[in-house]
Amino acid sequence: MLVSSETMQPLQFSNKTHNNKLYIPSLGLTLVLLISLASPASSYTEQEKTSLLQFLTELSWNGGLAASWWNNTNCCKWEGITCRQDRMVAKVMLASKGLEGHILECLGNLTRLQYLNLSHNSLSGGLPLELVSSSSITVLDVSFNQLNGTLHELPSSTPAQPLQVLNISSNLFAGQFPSTTWKAMENLIALNASNNSFTGQIPTHFCSSSPSLAVLNLCFKKFSGNIPQKLGNCSKLRELRAGYNNLSGTLPDELFNTATLEHLSFRNNDLHGAIDSTRITNLKNLVTLDLGGNRFGGKIPDSIGQLKKLEEFHLDNNKFSGELPSALSNYTNLVAIDLKKNNFSGQLAKVNFSNLPNLKTLDVYFNSFTGTVPESIYSCSNLTALRVSTNKLTGQLSPRLIDLKYLTFLSLTTNSFINIANALHIL
């Protein structure tokens, strides 16, 4: 650093004969130096405080935050605010505070903000692009509000963003779902955009741009078109939910390459086709399989019995047919089986229910099952709901019905049982 001779002058001895003392910097200069060193942090703190107060004053209802925020000059001690050691705001956690009003882009001025949670309030208006494209926010949760409008696309030149978790579920967003925005989300781990009114097709870039994506929830929207084949590139995807849309076509073969999948749900769409007996075995970590409310058909393949971690099995409201595979007996962790409104036939006794000690719900309503209610069902001591109505079942119900001590729902109608009165007496 270059220093002028004038700056160095106070350190020289005086030439005056009556004063041989060393000059020292004046108190004023010392204060200037101290203030210049302290001013950056101080100015940042004031800037962040100003941004927070601007957000507060624009709320039509602040849920009582004003008492905390206006009565303390230190914003790091405000309700819902957490700061780093350098007094920069790191977290704004204001979930379930009864907030009403708009989310202002001024929150994007919090340059060290990592966590922003405004969920479960009554906030309206749009979601500022400054928050989605923040260079510091890693978790952004604005779920369960009344936010509306569209989500604007990020420019294609946007650098990689640090955002890891984005939850915009249960709002009133509409319009075309962004497609290029996700190209900048290299660090995205979880995206929940369910329960909105987005339209268009499911973007294909998710996994090519976000290799660590583990959770993708796109339920309760208005998506149409086919399921993107490139979702099969999501090598770390654990949860894929896109139920209650207008998706059509078949399950792409590539989807079965995602061996990490634990929860797969395409409920209530317009999908068709059969379950691939070979590829389904790749999903050995599957815990939930929900394909209900579509037009799938064919038989349940025996190979499905290799999904031994399965707990939820929903194939209801489809066009499946044939007998149940005995391999269903392998699902020792099963909690729910829902096969209602299909074309299944044969005997329920093909499945050894005594191997399913955790089963709580069994629903085979509106099929063509024959024979009797198998004795092994009464071994499912945790069963709370049993519906076998509208089939072709015959015979008597076993006195072991009394073993189902937790049963709260039982439907037997439209069969040919001969001892309904005795069964009711047992219950």
Q: How far apart are alpha carbons 31 and 41 in whole angstroms?
A: 16
Considering all CA atoms of the chain, what is the largest pairwise distance in Å, rounded to the nearest integer?
128
At 349, list the tokens.
């006794």
In a domain, 32, yes or no: no
The CATH number of the domain holding residue 358 is 3.80.10.10
pLDDT-above-90 percentage for the chain: 77
Q: Is residue 75 part of a domain?
A: no
344 near 320, Cβ under 8 Å? yes
Q: Are strands 239-241 and 215-217 parallel, antiparallel or unpaired?
A: parallel
Instruction: Write the DSSP assignment of 90-127 as a string of letters.
Output: EEEE-TTS--EEE--GGGGG-TT--EEE--SSEEEE--
Token pair 């393949």: residue? 301
131 is written with which tokens?
Answer: 């928050």
Residue 44 has a pLDDT of 64
Encode pLDDT of 264-300 as tens digits: 999 999 999 999 999 999 999 999 999 999 999 999 9
Q: How many domains, in total, are found in the chain?
A: 1
What are the two backbone dihedrals, phi and then psi, of residue 172, each rounded to the nearest 5 degrees?
-120, 25
The C-alpha atoms of residue 124 and residue 122 are separated, in whole angstroms, by: 6
Spell out where 336-403 has E strands. Answer: 336-338, 343-347, 361-363, 368-371, 385-387, 392-395
371 in a structural domain: yes
| Domain-embedded: residue 346 | yes
How far apart are the C-alpha atoms of 43 and 341, rounded to whole Å?
Answer: 66
Structure tokens at 61: 């209802």
Whole-prediction pTM: 0.87
- Is 139 inside a domain boundary? no
Rg (CA), the chain: 32
Owning domain of residue 295: 274-427
**Residue-wise pLDDT tens digits, 99-115:** 999 999 999 999 999 99
Mean pLDDT, the chain, as a whole number? 89
- pLDDT at residue 42, rounded to an integer: 55
The structure tokens listed for 345 are 């036939």
Q: Which amino acid is at 30?
A: T
Lowest-confidence segment of 20-24, 208-212, 288-292, 392-396 by average pLDDT: 20-24
- Of 80, 100, 84, 101, give the one whose Cα is nearest residue 92: 80
pLDDT value of residue 394? 96
In a domain, 28, yes or no: no
Task: Render pLDDT for 304-360 as a digit per residue (tens, 0 to 9).
Answer: 989 999 999 999 999 999 999 999 998 899 999 999 999 999 999 999 999 999 999
How high is the pLDDT of residue 38? Answer: 42
Flag the least confident range among 34-43, 132-141, 161-170, 364-373: 34-43
pLDDT at 365 over 90: yes
Residues 6+ apart with CB under 8 A from 425: none
Do the beta carbons of residue 125 and residue 103 sit within 8 Å?
yes
Examine residue 350 and state whether it is found in any structural domain, yes or no: yes
Q: In which band, very low, low, confident or very high, does the pLDDT at 369 lie, cut at 50, 70 and 90?
A: very high
Residue 106, domain member (yes or no): no
Which residue reads 């996700």 in tokens?
182
pLDDT value at residue 7: 37
Q: What 3-state DSSP class applies to 411?
A: strand
